[in-house]
A = this chain, B = another copy of it.
């Protein structure tokens, strides 16, 4: 049994972790931490858990908790884990951090985009970026796992194969992404109110969204070149789901036909259970991955403009957060990678 503590367990990603881990046969949830709801019953905060969890939320005490669990998941605001992590904790247990604190290798990039000081930049070189399909081997041995962001997971996995192939112009990548509202978290802000989000669509963080450098860093590793992209997220009136629509120009003289690109994707993701390269002319929709850990991907060649449009869809709370965190945990603890993640997408 893997004993688990969850910091930030009452946010939406935290709730999803609890929900999925409850059905993970090798996991025992020992601590649900929540500053805001400390001493309140977890099932009073999220009443769907009535009769399923009889635990109270506890204050964060990472050092104490680290001695009693095998792994701590943290689904906390940026900067929080960076301010608390130390060697003792890391010696006691493994850490899977769902925040951005340990994702970027360059502390200056972090501090510029996030606008806060990083308290423990020394761990940036220690942490492993937890995009399972790209870094499975490294993940096996890590004690500090930086779980990727939701937009970034979807964007990187959608674009990486073609970028690696060398067919597309590395300077031409534009990613126009759309997300359900759970991505904004459970924050009491006017912008998150039902009547503000419903019957509306907006772009936000245009040319400034914090997931941009994370996508760029990872795509740079994939391509071996310094990648700069445009990334524009949009807020959609629905609970879950991310769709990324990515555009790139073919390099001069590098026209490719359907089957060539199809093969590139198939080869890149060979044997990957959670990646589904769809059939020709079938394009990702968020409802087809809802409540599951799947990533649906497809592409369309536009011969008129000599561009390729790449599309990817994930559930932002599963593959974009809790599901991938559990997939990482499974890898880190050497159990079946899909344990607890055999979730059939709920189209309704």
Contact = CB atoms under 8 A, between A and B. Distances in A.
B203 A245 contact: yes
A90 interface: no
Contacts of A46: 347
Contacts of A288: 47-48, 50
A162 B232 CA distance: 20
Contacts of A278: 47, 50
A195 interface: yes
Contacts of A300: 206-207
Contact of A347 (B48, B206, B309): B48
Contacts of A200: 238, 241, 285-287
A310 B209 CA distance: 16
A276 B53 CA distance: 13
Nearest to A216: B304
Contacts of A247: 174, 176, 230, 247
Contacts of A52: 344
Contacts of A307: 174, 230
Contacts of A304: 207, 228
17 contacts: A51-B276, A174-B307, A176-B245, A188-B190, A192-B194, A194-B237, A199-B199, A200-B238, A202-B286, A203-B311, A206-B311, A229-B305, A230-B305, A236-B236, A240-B348, A247-B247, A346-B346
Report, nearest first, the 3 A-B pairs whose CB atoms are least far apart: A48-B345, A202-B285, A200-B287
